[in-house]
């Protein structure tokens, strides 16, 4: 299991990391003091569990957990906090556990055992649920994670160090290369037609012959044309049977 700790008290963070390492096989992938930094990290990285304080800078733990609860693949959330009054909110967003500071080693050890057991059980479930969530994509807009169906995406284009993702009515910016973003999409529907473009094949309305035996692709619902590069023409013709 991969985890992150979001805790702004250094000593509490160090103690928790030590106990996790001593009593479980969970690997701490990253540690954060700030809720917004953690949310940005989760935009591009998948983890299995978050150990989360509530009173943290930028975005408090409850708000961070509410954002995470919209993810297509939801990590377990374990609140570790001095604030017992937030317990009801925590369980409304289906937190795995809620541990009050100062925590005891016995309590942490029991939680970790229960957590690893739940993770193992989830891993043995039938693959049907995995197929469903694989068609969901987490997109980033206005410091929020927006979960959309992959089929809502018309195309994506490389913009320096980010990738712009276009749906019918919105544009999103992802802090990923276009190659990384393409790898997260259903490969049977999304084609890398150009070094700077990925297109949803189901959204193509017209295929227009262009210079040097290339094509421009007109998409349904959008006033935009996506290019097909010379290096991709042969593969595109095979896919589209032209």
Measured CA to CA, the distance from residue 165 to residue 184 in angstroms comes to 13
Measured CA to CA, the distance from residue 15 to residue 17 in angstroms comes to 5
User: Could you tell me which residues are beta bridge partners of residue 158?
Assistant: 163
pLDDT of 143: 77
Q: Where are the chain's structural domains?
A: 2-128, 136-240
26 has a pLDDT exceeding 90: yes
Whether this model's pTM surpasses 0.85: no
pLDDT of 133: 42
203 has a pLDDT exceeding 90: yes
Q: Which CATH number fits domain 2-128: 3.40.50.2300, 3.40.710.10, 3.40.50.300, 1.20.120.450?
A: 3.40.50.2300
Helix (H), strand (E), coil (C) string for 109-170: HHHHHHHHHHHHHHHCCCCHHHHHHCCEEEEEECCEEEEEEHHHEEEEEEECCEEEEEECCC
pLDDT of 8: 94
Average pLDDT of the chain, as a whole number: 88
N-to-C CA span, the chain: 46
pLDDT of 130: 46
Q: How would residue 46 be classed by pLDDT, with cut points 50, 70 and 90?
A: confident
Nearest to 64 by CA among 85, 46, 90: 90
* Protein fold of 136-240: OB fold (Dihydrolipoamide Acetyltransferase, E2P) (2.40.50)
pLDDT tens readout for residues 112-146:
999 988 888 776 554 444 444 457 888 888 878 88
Under DSSP, is residue 108 helix (H, G, I), strand (E, B) or coil?
helix
């Amino acid at each position: 299991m991969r985890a992150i700790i979001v805790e702004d008290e250094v000593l509490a963070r160090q103690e928790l990391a030590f106990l996790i390492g001593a009593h479980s096989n969970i690997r701490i992938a990253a540690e954060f003091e700030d809720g917004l930094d953690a949310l940005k990290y989760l935009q591009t990285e998948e983890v299995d569990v978050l150990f989360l304080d509530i009173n943290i800078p930028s975005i408090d733990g409850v708000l961070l957990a509410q954002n995470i609860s919209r993810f297509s693949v939801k990590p377990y959330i374990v609140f570790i906090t001095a604030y017992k009054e937030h317990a009801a909110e925590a369980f409304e967003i289906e937190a795995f556990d809620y541990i009050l500071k100062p925590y005891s080693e016995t309590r942490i050890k029991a939680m970790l055992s229960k957590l690893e057991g739940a993770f193992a059980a989830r891993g043995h479930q039938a693959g049907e649920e995995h197929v469903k969530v694989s068609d969901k994509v987490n997109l980033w807009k206005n410091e929020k994670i927006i979960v959309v169906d992959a089929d809502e995406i018309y195309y994506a284009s490389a913009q320096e160090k980010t990738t712009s993702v276009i749906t019918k009515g919105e544009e999103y910016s992802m802090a990923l290369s276009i190659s990384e973003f393409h790898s997260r999409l259903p490969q049977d529907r999304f084609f890398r037609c150009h070094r700077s473009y990925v297109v949803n094949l189901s959204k193509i309305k017209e295929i227009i012959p262009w210079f040097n035996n290339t094509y421009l692709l007109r998409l349904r619902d959008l006033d935009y044309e996506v290019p097909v590069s010379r290096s991709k023409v042969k593969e595109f013709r095979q896919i589209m049977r032209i």
